[in-house]
Chain A
Amino acid sequence: MNKNLLVVKDLKGYYRGTFGVVHAVDSVSLNVGEGERVGIAGESGCGKSSFAQLITGTTTPLLHYEGGDVIADGFNIWKIPPETLRKEVKCERLSYVPQAMLNSLNPVRRVREFIADMLKERTGRKHSVDEASKIAAEHFEKLGLDARVLDVYPHELSGGMMQRAIIAISTMASPKLLITDEPTSALDVTSQRRMIELMIDIQRKGIIKSLVCISHDLAALNQLCDRIVIMYAGTFVEEGKADDVINRPLHPYTRALMDSLLPLEPETKDKSLSSIGGVVPDLRNPPPGCRFHPRCEKCMKICTYREPPEIKKKDRVVRCWLYSRGRSK
């Protein structure tokens, strides 16, 4: 049995502001084992990024932690003081690469100076720039990246190169768990492929142990991950092996999502595609019962007032009343 690097239990996170309370992440549980690559997919506005912020303890101002446990390598990150989180957990145990990663480098300093700053903060010892670039160059070479990147300013790099450099920088302390939010979405297809290769490579070389990747691109997730979780309106609706979820989707939402995808295959041309009607519900007052029921084609009476149970079948989990007939009433 694999040790779980990340255990998320009943996690809740709401946005609170003058607009009301947005139930962005509502009772979500997830286990990530050692050596696993997990992908989280869903439409925009369904809480993927909020989830990433909550499991890394880096919430944006209006997002509040509301309950549940996030245990990353033995540390319950919402129960320990922020200083411990920053010093002992982040970078060494888990590293988070946010969606706006292209803005995370310092625009007025060269990449190696940025790394020197970071090393100083990490180790508490001032490194000379030469020393820092030596450490960084070693690490970059290990990942097959050009060490020349270290000598330039961020604006001189292309989007793909910058993103790969950021992934390299954030794995310098060999975190056990890497959490990336939309790592491939702003990139061209060729850079996208290199990015996917890089992330798999980092894991194979043992720099990181597990990976959580958040994306709306199911095809890219399928290449990168072993396990895929489908998120809808703040809840997980389906979970399973990447292959199973993509080729044999169970939940009506996953099916609809798959039907709206355009894979690059000869058959796509003649396929009649359908979009999912309606919009993602307003999470200020999510629909009662199953959150997908207003858009679901197979909606039953029970779906409109009772939350669907979690049905487990081997390594698949699905939350839908369709699969629980006769088992509970």
Chain B
Amino acid sequence: MKKKDTLLKVKNLTKIYTSGYVRTTEIVGAKNVSFDIKRSEVFCLVGESGSGKTTVGNIILRLIKPTSGEIFLDDKDAFSYDKRAYWRKVQAVFQDPYSSFNFFYNVDKPLNDAFDLLENSPSKEERKKIISSVLQTIEMNPDEILGRYPHQLSGGQMQRLLIARSLIIRPNLLVADECTSMIDASTRVAVLNELLRLKEVEKMSVLFITHDLSQAYFIGDRIAIMKNGEIVEEGPVKKVIFHPKHPYTRNLVASVPPLHERWEL
């Protein structure tokens, strides 16, 4: 029973970046990272910049190859999948919405392109229907959005559009890599709520990579804290954030400025 619930299993993932030919320097991106993501769960990866969060995310997306370690998706080695088949199951939303769109095309294009990844892609009429129904599920008005150019939309709208794009493909796992850090607090909430809805209604799993503990706390079920490429603490969000065991986590939590009280400085 329990085994079946696991969607993605990451085992001893290590990535060492090397540079130079004669004298090589090595930088550890990730070191012995292991965790698993259950179905319909938001798993958060939190750490400071340079802690290897994105490295792990990119390996899971198969954008870079790990030095060692294994990933299992649905109990099958992730690297044995055909890449297109793999990306049908794993999709991503990245940090910068402004560079995710081609500014010369209107926003319909990435949505339409998403169909090409599907095995039997629907006809033009059907595509249109699917796009507008997907936009409606994320509470965006298709008439307002379609045919517009990226610069006419706000960052939050663009990010939600990318979520809509992944909804067309209906992956099992969405890797959200810092997808809210470049948008304003006032519109960020819409994106977070959308991710929560994905989890609850569409039964998708989300790997939420962030540096912001409070967002991780709001959205996550379980959380892993990373430091220098290693996971130092992992567990349910409430436990890790409010009863941290590792000194690094404690320090991290204490550094978040509280809103309703003031530090003694």
A positions within 8 Å CB-CB of B: 43-44, 159, 188-190, 192-193, 196-197, 200, 216-220, 222-223, 246-247, 256-257, 260-266, 268-269, 271, 273-276, 279
Contact A264 B265 (CB under 8 A): no
- Known A-B contacts A189-B48, A190-B48, A275-B190; the reply to A257 vs B260 at CB < 8 A is no
Stretch at the interface among B15-23, B61-69, B74-82, B208-216: B208-216
A235 and B94 alpha carbons, distance in the complex (Å): 33
Contact B260 A264 (CB under 8 A): no
Contacts of B193 in A (CB 8 A): 273, 275
Min distance, Cβ B159 to any Cβ of chain A, angstroms: 12
Stretch at the interface among B115-123, B168-176, B249-257: B249-257
Residue B156 CB within 8 A of the other chain: yes
A222 and B257 alpha carbons, distance in the complex (Å): 8
Contact A257 B186 (CB under 8 A): yes
Contacts of B255 in A (CB 8 A): 189-190, 192-193
Min distance, Cβ B111 to any Cβ of chain A, angstroms: 21
Q: Which of B48, B185, B186, B259 contacts A222 (CB 8 A)?
A: B259
A265 and B218 alpha carbons, distance in the complex (Å): 10
How many chain B residues touch A (CB < 8 A): the figure is 37
| 30 A-B contacts (beta carbon < 8 Å) | A159-B49, A188-B48, A189-B256, A192-B257, A193-B254, A193-B255, A219-B256, A219-B257, A220-B257, A222-B262, A223-B258, A257-B185, A260-B188, A262-B192, A262-B215, A262-B217, A263-B258, A263-B259, A264-B217, A264-B253, A265-B259, A266-B238, A266-B242, A269-B218, A273-B218, A274-B189, A275-B156, A275-B188, A275-B189, A276-B186
Residue B263 CB within 8 A of the other chain: yes
Question: Which residues of B173-218 have CB atoms within 8 Å of chain A's CB atoms?
Answer: 184-190, 192-193, 211-215, 217-218
Q: Which of A219, A271, A279 contacts B259 (CB 8 A)?
A: A219
- A268 nearest CB neighbor, chain B only: B218
Contacts of A218 in B (CB 8 A): 185, 259
Q: Which of A188, A265, A273 contacts B189 (CB 8 A)?
A: A273
Contacts of A219 in B (CB 8 A): 256-259
A190 and B50 alpha carbons, distance in the complex (Å): 13
Min distance, Cβ A170 to any Cβ of chain B, angstroms: 21
Contacts of B238 in A (CB 8 A): 266, 269
- Which 5 interchain pairs have the tightest Cβ spacing? A263-B259, A275-B189, A188-B48, A219-B257, A193-B255
- A253 nearest CB neighbor, chain B only: B186
Contacts of B265 in A (CB 8 A): 196-197, 200, 223
Residue B154 CB within 8 A of the other chain: yes
- A276 nearest CB neighbor, chain B only: B186
- Known A-B contacts A192-B255, A222-B259, A269-B238; the reply to A256 vs B213 at CB < 8 A is no
A43 and B184 alpha carbons, distance in the complex (Å): 6
A223 and B154 alpha carbons, distance in the complex (Å): 29
Residue B241 CB within 8 A of the other chain: yes
- A192 nearest CB neighbor, chain B only: B255
Contacts of A274 in B (CB 8 A): 189
A257 and B187 alpha carbons, distance in the complex (Å): 10
Given contacts A189-B211, A262-B212, A262-B218, 17 further A-B contacts (CB under 8 A): A43-B184, A188-B49, A189-B252, A189-B256, A190-B255, A196-B265, A222-B259, A246-B260, A256-B186, A260-B189, A262-B189, A262-B192, A264-B213, A265-B258, A273-B192, A273-B193, A275-B193
Contacts of A190 in B (CB 8 A): 48, 251-252, 255
